[in-house]
Structure 1
Amino acid sequence: MSPWALVLILVAAVAHASWNLLSKQAAKADGVVFLWLVAVASAAIWNPLFVVFLLVTGTTMTWGTLGVIAISTTLHIGYFLLLQRGYSHGDLSTVYPVARGTGPMLASLVAVLFLGEHPGPAGIAGIALVGVGVFMMSSGGAKADPKGLMFGLAVGVFIAGYTVWDAQVVSAFAVAPLMLSYLGETGRALALSPLVLVGPRRALILPIWREHRGHVLGAAVLIPLSYLLVLFAFTMAPVSVVAPMREVSVLIAVVLGGRLLAEGDLRRRMLAAVVILGGVVTIALS
């Protein structure tokens, strides 16, 4: 694996765990309104960079490009809505590990079965270690969280879907990662607008903005940043390697959940984190 790909994935993991913490902290707010505010803020914040990108590269948008991005946007909308609802019902330390474990394992399986990728024995062992470690995060312990588990599994399906699809968008369809990320954010804002601006949710916009402004702005910066880095990594390494390696973010999320959210059972979760770290190192060396 390219050292640059490894660096991109690790930085993306920190950003990813951080915005999930912000989303969890805002979980009591209406999820649709919160996600709409994040998407709108993100589109505004990242707009100058996107305009510069278009001017410098001369990239044009075709109907084919918009079509493949629309599919990605649809998958991401399902992912974000389920994730935010999951955080309103379960712990960060349950929903996040289960989702992040299910998604890459399914993505790697799809990559092997349908995309012709063939990880070696070390890569397979690393993927297995990541999966075992992630599910150790949510098994046992004093607090059972069946709702969090169910939402985590559902979110994992969407993660697998957009991981495999977006990898093809930036490779086979040669769509620039920044274009995919920015137009995805803009598309999500447009798609959620009818649900927010028409009906009772409209009255929630200002109260949620006032209470969660920091969470909104933080997520608006970190969500595109974390995924942009992963999309660039997809251009340097195969899906079956990048997808499971992203799960180093689980290590960070466990610490954040244990220290900042007081979700407890930190010893068991740290043991699972060691297993995940072993899998990440194995994949990196494969």
Structure 2
Amino acid sequence: MDPLALGLVLVAAVAHASWNLLSKKAAHVDSLVFVWLVAAAGAVVWSPLFVGFLVVARPRLDWTGLAVIGVSTAIHLGYFVLLQRGYGSGDLSLVYPVARGTGPMLASLVAVVFLGERPTAVGIAGIVLVGAGVLLMSGGIGGSGLKGLAFGLATGVFIATYTVWDSRVVSAFAVAPLLLNYLGEVGRTIVLAPFVLRGRRRALAAAAWRAHRRTIVAAAVLVFVSYLLVLVAFTRAPMSLVAPAREISVLIAVVLGGRLLAEDGLRHRLLAAGVIVGGVVAIALS
């Protein structure tokens, strides 16, 4: 992989695990409210950069570009909401690695079942390893933990979808990464506004902002930075290399959950996360 692309992906992995830590800390907040507040904060914080980009680069955006950005926004909206609800049901060190690991596994299974692809022995081994890692991660949990595991698996579906889609948006459709990222923030803000700014959620949003505004702004900054770096990496290296390299964030998140949130079973979950990461790397090399 191009050294710059690798550096971008590694920094993105740290930023990604960090904003997930912040999201977990705010898991008691209504999921739609938190996702909307982070998106709205991101739209405000990054607006000067976006305006500067428009003035300097003067990008052209036709109806096709707007359409593919709209699809990306919808996929990411489902991802953020499911992930936040998962953090309300399970540990960071459980939900995060399951979500991040199952994305590549599911993408590979879809390619085999519906697209007629024939995976290599290494690819098959990778799929098996991810599945084994998820099973290992689920060992000894029950009740709400199983619910968190289910949310992690569902979130993995959206991760697989947006990874494939967005890599095409910035490559085949030549949409600038900053344009895709920023308009995604604006799109989530607009779509969720009717659900958040009325009824009881309006009061919840005001209370959540007063209590967690630093967390919200920090998450907004890290969400934007982490994915922008990945999108830029997509323009410099193949998706098959970028996607697995960023999964180092799985190990980072497990450590953060165990050390900073005092979640149980750190050694067990690190082992399971390691198996998942190994499976993702094998899938990428197949």
**TM-score scaled by length of structure 2:** 0.89
- 1:185 aligns to what? 185
- 1:138 aligned onto 2:137: yes
- Tell me if 1:267 matches 2:256: no
Residue of structure 2 equivalent to 1:227: 227
Shift of the alpha carbon at 1:3? 1.6
Pair 1:111–1:56, CA change in 2 (3 A): farther
2:3 counterpart residue number: 3
Q: Please give the alpha-carbon distance, in whole angstroms, between the structure 2 residues aligned to 1:234 and 1:250.
A: 20
1:188-213: CA deviations, max 9, x gaps?
Answer: 00000000112221111221011111
Q: Aligned-pair distance for 1:276?
A: 5.2
Following superposition, the deviation at residue 65 of structure 1 comes to 1.1
SS at match of 2:147: helix
Match of 2:27 in 1: 27
Contact 1:90 1:148 in 2 (8 A): yes
Task: Give the 5 Å matches for 1:51-90.
Answer: 51-90=51-90
SS in 1 for 2:27: coil
| Aligned alpha-carbon RMSD (Å) | 2.7
Question: In structure 2, do the counterparts of structure 1 residues 200 and 8 end up closer, same or farther at CA, with 3 Å as the change threshold?
Answer: same
| TM-superposed deviation, 1:277 | 5.8
2-structure distance, mates of 1:249, 1:112: 27
In structure 2, what is the equivalent of residue 249 of structure 1? 249
SS of match in other structure, 2:88: helix
1:94 and 1:137 in contact (8 A); partners too: no
* 1:206 aligned partner: 206
1:121 and 1:12 map into 2 onto residues whose CA distance is 30
Q: 1:112, 1:240 within 8 Å by CA — same for their partners in 2?
A: no
Q: Is the 8 A contact 1:13 1:247 kept in 2?
A: yes
Q: Secondary structure at the match of 1:97?
A: helix
Distance 1:41 1:261, change over 3 A: same
| Alpha-carbon offset, residue 229 of structure 1 | 0.9
Show the counterpart of 1:170: 170
Look up the SS of the partner of 1:269 in the other structure.
helix
Identity %: 65
Whole-angstrom distance in 2 between the partners of 1:236 and 1:121: 28
Aligned mates of 1:186, 1:74 — CA distance in 2: 12
Contact 1:39–1:188 (Cα < 8 Å) also in 2: yes
User: CA offset at residue 107 of structure 1?
Assistant: 3.3
Change (3 A) 1:130 1:233: farther
C-alpha distance in structure 1 between counterparts of 2:7 and 2:136, whole Å: 25
Mark the runs of 5 or more structure 2 residues left unpaired by the alignment: none
State the alpha-carbon separation in 2 of the partners of residues 44 and 130 from structure 1.
42
The answer to whether the 8 Å contact 1:101/1:247 transfers is yes
Residues of 1 paired with 2:214 and 2:113: CA distance? 42
Deviation at 1:38, TM superposition (A): 0.6
Q: Which runs of 5+ in 1 are unaligned?
A: none
Q: Secondary structure at the match of 1:89?
A: coil
Cα deviation, residue 284, structure 1: 9.0
Query: Per-residue displacement from partner, 1:21-59 (whole Å, max 9, x unpaired)?
Result: 111110101111111111111001111111111111111
CA offsets, 1:44-78, max 9 Å, x none? Answer: 11111111111111113222111110000000111
Separation (CA, whole Å) in 2 of partners of 1:284 and 1:107: 11
Cα distance in structure 1, aligned partners of 2:118 and 2:240: 8
Following the alignment from structure 1 to structure 2, what is the Cα–Cα distance between the partners of residues 250 and 282?
16
Aligned partner letter, 1:169: V
Question: Compared with structure 1, are the counterparts of its residues 131 and 245 closer, same or farther at alpha carbon in structure 2 (3 Å cutoff)?
Answer: farther
Distance 1:284 1:164, change over 3 A: closer
- Contact 1:167–1:234 at 8 Å: present in 2 too? yes
Comparing 256-265 and 197-206, the one that deviates more = 197-206
TM-score, with normalisation over the residues of structure 1? 0.89
